[in-house]
Amino acid sequence: MSDLTLYHNDACSKCRATAALLAERGLQPRVVEYLQTPPDAGTLRDLLTKLAIPARDLLRKGEPEYAALGLDDPALSDEAAIAAMVEHPRLIERPILIRDDRAVICRPPERALELIDGP
Amino acid at 4: L
Sign of CA dihedral 88, 81, 76, 108: negative
Q: Is 12 in the active site?
A: yes
**Pairwise CA distance, residues 111 & 61, whole Å:** 20
User: Phi and psi of 32, rounded to 5°?
Assistant: -110, 110
Query: Which of the residues 3, 8, 9, 12 is marked catalytic?
Result: 12
How large is the C-alpha radius of gyration of the chain?
A: 14
| Cα 63–chain centre separation | 15
d(CA 109, CA 20): 9
Catalytic center residues: 12
